[in-house]
Every structure is written in structure tokens, then in C-alpha cells.
Amino acid sequence: MAYDNNNIFAKILRGEAPAFNVYEDDHSLAFMDVMPQVPGHTLVIPKDPAADIHAADPVILGATVATVQKVADAVKAAFAAPGIMIAQLNGPAAGQTVFHLHFHILPRHEGLEFRMHARDMEDAEVLEAHAAKVRACLQP
């Protein structure tokens, strides 16, 4: 799929759209999903412009997955989650709605079902509080 420079995650990377960031390094950025399926739903994206996993440079993909692990550790601690679900969708048929490669990190608790994908917007104060909790659990 061709990469669209005006997708929402490209705008977040350029600072043209707001985000509740939790982590950034040379190759990746992590921030809260604005329509979380569970409290603490966090996204990790490479800075490189790839629409999906098929278009990604394998070296950058590896570095992005290392960031996923780091942020998932922090999300697990921040939300005292016994389980962490990692999701990654490619193509509309798989449910992808934003065409910049990203990984979903979802803290899971027994009996707590997750909400519909990309449906209900969370309040900004809640998202900022959740981002602060994750940031506090990230090693420097």
C-alpha cells in the first residue's frame, strides 16, 4: 500500500497533531491510543514511513519491536496487568484503519473484556493520567 504522508500518525510524528506521548527514541515513538479498547491501550510506531509490516525495513522493524517490549514492560507495571496483548493489523481486510505501521499494547485482566476497536474517544485528562503512569514505569 502506498504511504500517505498526511495520515494521522505522520502528523503526530511531525508535531502537527497532538498525542499523549510515553516514550521516544531515534527510531520510534509510543503514545496513548485516543480510543482505547482498555485503560492503558498504548501504540508504538516507527518514525520511518511504512504503511504496514510488509513495507517496513526489517532492521527498523526489529528496533521497533524492541521498543514494543520496553513499553509493554512499562504498561504491564503501570496497570498491574497479569496479561499483555500485542496486536498489529495490516490492510483494511485485517481491520487496519491508520496506514502507518503500528503495534497495539493492551493490558489485560481476567474478566475485563476489551471495547470495540477505534470507536469511543477517551477524555484528555484520563489519557494524560494514563500516559503519566506509563512514563513513570519506563526505565531511563
Q: Kindly list the catalytic residues.
A: 102
Candidate residues 8, 60, 61, 85; the one interacting with ligand 5GP per rule CB under 6 A: 8
Please, what is the minimum distance in Å from the beta carbon of residue 90 to ligand 5GP? 9
Q: Minimal CA–CA distance to 74: which of 22, 126, 129?
A: 22
Candidate residues 53, 118, 137, 138; the one interacting with ligand 5GP per rule CB under 6 A: 118
Segment 12 to 41, residues that bind ligand 5GP, using CB under 6 A: 19, 31, 33-35
Q: What amino acid is encoded at 50 in this protein?
A: A
Compute how many other C-beta atoms are within 10 angstroms of the C-beta atom of residue 93: 7
The residues, ordered by sequence, that sit 6+ positions from 55 with a Cβ below 8 Å of its Cβ are 1, 3, 101
Please report, as ranges, the residues that interact with ligand 5GP according to CB under 6 A. Answer: 8, 19, 31, 33-35, 89, 95-98, 117-118
